[in-house]
Amino acid sequence: MSGQVARVAILGAESSGKSTLAEHLAVRYATVWVPEYLREFVDTQARVPFESDQYPIARTQREREIEAAKRATRFLFCDTTPLMTALYSRQYWGRVDPQLARLDSRHDYAWTFVTAPDSPWEPDGLQRESEEVRQKVHRMLVETLELRAIPYVLLAGSLEARMAQAEALLGPLAEIDPRY
């Protein structure tokens, strides 16, 4: 992975705008993003994951991140990380597989953005459960980041507001490529 590529973790509970934000940031900064593999898994398997699927899902997410970093320029926007897979393991099974815990412990991102659960919750087939679960997972995420002393920025409001918040931290587009 190039030392010049800053990986940006975009974390958040279900239906909080992670994918939309990651995609828009990638366009804005003329780079690539890593979609959430869980969404692909649910679509291709036509089911929610079992506990035994959690580590392979997180490992695939991380592998795709490593591959995407080879194509990225300046930033790589990661729509979720193994940390979220571990949190959902705790939510649904009350534990985290040791392999997943090891993978989850490698939170080595230049920036960690957390999407606030402040938009209307929307069902998404098999993958999303409820507004109550979304709020609980958000609390678990923030508590975990704080417990691990992982700095993060909470991005809230509309997509435009979140983009402005992120740009203020990452730098305006003109600083990245004067052609824009």
- Residue 86's domain comprises 6-176
pLDDT, one tens digit per residue, over 75-121 is: 999 999 999 999 999 999 999 999 999 999 988 999 999 999 998 76
Measured distance CA(124)–CA(174) in Å, rounded: 36
- Residue 55: inside a domain: yes
**Is 34 part of any domain?**
yes
92 vs 168: CA distance, rounded Å: 36
CATH classification of the domain holding 94: 3.40.50.300
Instruction: Give me the sheet containing 111-115, strands edge to edge.
Output: 33-34, 75-79, 6-11, 111-115, 153-155
Burial class (CB in 10 A: 0-12, 13-18, 19+), 47: exposed
Given a cut of 80, is residue 1 above it in pLDDT? no
- Is 1 within the bounds of a domain? no
Q: Which residues contact 112 (CB under 8 A, 6 or more apart)?
A: 8, 9, 11, 145, 150, 151, 152, 153
Q: Is the pLDDT of residue 6 over 60?
A: yes
For the segment 42-48, the average pLDDT, to the nearest whole number, is 90
Q: What is the mean pLDDT of residues 119-133?
A: 70
- pLDDT score of 61: 97
Whether the pLDDT of residue 124 is over 50: the answer is yes
Residue 20 lies in a domain: yes
Give the number of domains in the chain: 1
Question: Do the domain assignments include residue 121?
Answer: yes
- Please indicate, yes or no, if residue 159 is contained in any of the structural domains: yes
d(CA 121, CA 140): 18
